[in-house]
Amino acid sequence: MKFMLIWRVTSDEAWSNLGEIDFDQMLETVGRFNEELIEAGVLLAAEGLAPAEEGVVVDFSSEPPVVTDGPYGETKELFNGFYLINVPSMADAIEWAKRTPMTAAGFKTEIRRVPTIDEFPADNEWIKKERAWRERTGQL
Amino acid sequence: MSDPTGRKAVAAVWRIDSARIVGALTRYTGDFALAEDLAQEALAEALVTWPREGVPNNPAGWLLTVGRRRAIDAFRRRSTRDEKYAALAHNLAEGGALTGATDPGPAPDDVLWDPDQIDDDTLALMFTSCHPVLSREAGVALTLRVIGGLTSDEIARAFLVPTATVQARITRAKKTLGAAKVPFEVPPVNERPARLAQVLSVIYLIFTEGSSASSGDEVIRLDLAGEAQRLARIMSRLMPSEPEVHSLLALLELTAARFPARRGPDGETVLLEDQDRRRWDRSAIARGRAALAKAADAGRGYGYYGLQAAIAECHAVAPSVPETDWNRIVVLYEALGRLAPSPVVELNRAVAVSMARGPAAALPIVDDLAGGDAFKDSHQLPGVRGELLRRLGRLDEARTELEQAIRLCGNERERAVLTRKLADL
């Protein structure tokens, strides 16, 4: 089963504490966790995101949509990175999520299951196309 | 949290941390068999407690503390007979484990959870589980349970044997290790090459069992192949200066890379030459090649696994069968045949020679093999011979060989391929 572990920093205080941590130390802590995921054969993908201040939001509340620079909403709504893992059950995903590095009060890891292509109607032509693409690119 | 989540959490924690838990308990008690028992007792206790009271904050620490407390109990029981155990029990209790709390906190176990020790312990566990005094089956079962973190049930399902059989194998294995007084250690340098070969062969056996199409539920078997890859990865991290360890990992990655392409829409076997190479797992190929490059960096030439991985690499990088570097594959098979002579290697060499230099050059090799009785009851030799004869235009003889191959072939899917070949003649 595929799960996405979404890493969130949900308070301004936690966010500023994060800035205090030694960068090399952070690389090592995160790196060790990544190595563990790789060795266990569960890691499919992982990305960390650039600061939300660099982000752009396209808001569809109005017509035409409004494009604004910078973070959208409040800190607790932001997410900062993700792991995509392949494990036998939600329980395993929880155990890995508990091991997320660089955590303290105000940090959260959200776990979302990623449905497989088999959960969509197999005879739908778009699903067929998607399946073909997934087979071709090894992403089934 | 309620059942079955608690039970699943126990399995999940065991999958991730079994080696660390058993390793730490072995170092703590000095007795691998006892440590494995203690870990299993701790798991049994977790299966009762976690569904009822929730998963503890530090599940691995919880298991370790329970295991340690049981160790002290065991030593105290034995101490009535033996003073040595009385001293041990006293020393162990000094660590402050006997608090009696329902949720043993992680604090006392920080000592056991020493990151510098964990790697040594895991390596020692690998060498112990794959010790030559054990039968192959026992080594496989013990390795999968202790380092792979599989349950006896999971191992039983993967090997299509009853759970009781797996449990008996493990119990017997622990007794054998105890009787042989096998020390819990990474073997000394003079014993290491032979012992390492044993570890690698157990991992390879797990992989081939997982990748063989002969029987069983394919999904579970693929998990077994994945488990072998995980063990190989652990070994290559722990023994970075051993080229054959990287070679084994490379071989597993490069072989597994072809898994997505080896079944047709109806589950039939698709031979290497007919596989849709776009379906090969490119990242697995990249990982395999990187591992093989590391093995080559050692500058000692390829060994048994290295040669096989190098052959697999030739296929992995070739856009098609005709564009494959068959001359290099011939050379690699020649080297493999010198290092580990076997009729199977000879037959594979013959196939490679036929691709590099044509069927006429390969036929004598196959005819030599037909003179021996290594392939007496196997479909492989007549299958290859039939194919060579077909390419030489000797169709009557080819037909006889293929009919023979079909008669001997026990695998339905492979038989279908042969039958199609015969029909096409």
**B21: chain A residues, CB-CB within 8 Å:** none
- pLDDT at residue B2, as a whole number: 45
> Does B359 touch chain A if contact means CB atoms closer than 8 Å?
no
- Are B233 and A41 in contact (CB < 8 Å)? yes
Q: Which residue from A90, A92, A138 is facing B260, i.e. has the nearest CB?
A: A138
Q: Which residue's entry shows tokens 């050059």?
A: B361
Nearest CA of chain B to the CA of A130: how many Å? 14
Nearest CA of chain B to the CA of A94: how many Å? 8
How many A-B residue pairs are in contact by the CB < 8 A criterion? Answer: 49
- pLDDT at residue B161, as a whole number: 86
- Are B15 and A92 in contact (CB < 8 Å)? yes
Query: Higher model confidence: residue A25 or residue A71?
Result: A25
For A108-127, what is each residue's pLDDT tens digit? 899 999 999 889 998 999 99
Q: Which residue's entry shows tokens 């964990």?
A: B118
Residues 266-295 of B with CB under 8 A from A: 278-283
**B237: chain A residues, CB-CB within 8 Å:** 35, 39
- Phi, psi dihedral angles at A84 (to 5 degrees): -110, 120
- pLDDT at residue B1, as a whole number: 43
Among the listed residues B308, B301, B379, B375, the one whose alpha carbon sits nearest the alpha carbon of residue B337? B308
What is the spatial distance between Cα B151 and Cα B144, in angstroms, rounded to a whole number? 8
- Are B282 and A138 in contact (CB < 8 Å)? yes
Q: Which residue from A89, A136, A138 is facing B12, i.e. has the nearest CB?
A: A89
Q: Which residues of A touch B (CB under 8 A)?
A: 35, 38-41, 87-92, 94-96, 135-136, 138, 140
Among the listed residues A93, A38, A113, the one whose alpha carbon sits nearest the alpha carbon of residue B8? A93
**A70, A53 contact by CB (below 8 A):** yes
What is the spatial distance between Cα B27 and Cα A19, in angstroms, rounded to a whole number? 39
Q: Which residue from A88, A91, A135 is facing B5, i.e. has the nearest CB?
A: A91
Q: Please, which residues bridge with residue A107 across strands?
A: A9
What is the spatial distance between Cα B344 and Cα B367, in angstroms, rounded to a whole number? 14
> Does B234 touch chain A if contact means CB atoms closer than 8 Å?
yes
For residue A108, CA distances in Å to A49, A58, A79, A111 come to 15, 25, 9, 10
For A62-78, what is each residue's pLDDT tens digit? 889 989 887 766 666 67
Overall average pLDDT of the A19-38 stretch: 89
Q: Which residue's entry shows tokens 């078997």?
A: B221
- pLDDT at residue B105, as a whole number: 43
The one-letter amino acid at B98: L
Q: Which residue's entry shows tokens 């997505």?
A: B260
CATH 3.30.70.1060 is held by the domain A2-136: yes
What is the spatial distance between Cα B133 and Cα B394, in angstroms, rounded to a whole number? 52
**B233: chain A residues, CB-CB within 8 Å:** 38-39, 41
**B406, B419 contact by CB (below 8 A):** yes
Residues 45-84 of B with CB under 8 A from A: 59
- pLDDT at residue B112, as a whole number: 59
Nearest CA of chain B to the CA of A81: how many Å? 22
Which pair of structure tokens corresponds to residue B247? 């070679």
> Has the ipTM of the complex gone over 0.85?
no
What is the spatial distance between Cα B298 and Cα B294, in angstroms, rounded to a whole number? 7
- Are A136 and B279 in contact (CB < 8 Å)? yes
Which pair of structure tokens corresponds to residue A115? 């449905």
User: How many helices and strands (H and E) does chain B possess?
Assistant: 19, 0
User: Collapsing DSSP states into helix, strand and coil, what is residue B241?
Assistant: coil
| Mutation target among A33, A87, A95 for the B interface, most CBs of B within 10 A | A95
- Are A136 and B278 in contact (CB < 8 Å)? yes
**B313, B254 contact by CB (below 8 A):** yes
What is the spatial distance between Cα B129 and Cα B89, in angstroms, rounded to a whole number? 26
- Phi, psi dihedral angles at A61 (to 5 degrees): -65, -25
- pLDDT at residue A53, as a whole number: 82
- Are A95 and B230 in contact (CB < 8 Å)? no
- Phi, psi dihedral angles at A130 (to 5 degrees): -65, -40
**What is this structure's pTM?**
0.85
| Mutation target among B5, B16, B222 for the A interface, most CBs of A within 10 A | B16
DSSP secondary structure string for all residues of A71-137: --S-GGG---EEEEEE-SSHHHHHHHHHT-SS--TTEEEEEEEE--GGGS-TT-HHHHHHHHHHHHT
For B303-343, what is each residue's pLDDT tens digit? 999 999 999 999 999 999 999 999 999 999 999 999 999 99
- Are A95 and B12 in contact (CB < 8 Å)? yes
Ordered by start, the domain boundaries in chain A are 2-136
What is the spatial distance between Cα B26 and Cα B20, in angstroms, rounded to a whole number? 10
Per-10-residue mean pLDDT of chain B, 425 residues long, equals 71 91 90 92 94 90 93 81 66 48 45 71 93 93 92 85 92 93 91 94 91 59 85 93 96 94 79 89 94 94 96 96 96 96 94 95 93 83 94 94 91 82 88
- pLDDT at residue B115, as a whole number: 64
Question: What is the dihedral sign for C-alpha A40, A42, A45, A49?
Answer: negative
**B229: chain A residues, CB-CB within 8 Å:** 41
For residue B2, CA distances in Å to B58, B62, B328, B362 come to 18, 18, 59, 65
CA B232 to centroid of chain Cα atoms: 7
What is the spatial distance between Cα B284 and Cα B274, in angstroms, rounded to a whole number? 20
Using CB atoms within 10 A of its CB, is residue B343 exposed (0-12), middle (13-18) or buried (19+)?
A: middle
Q: In chain A, whose CA is at the least distance from the CA of B223?
A: A88
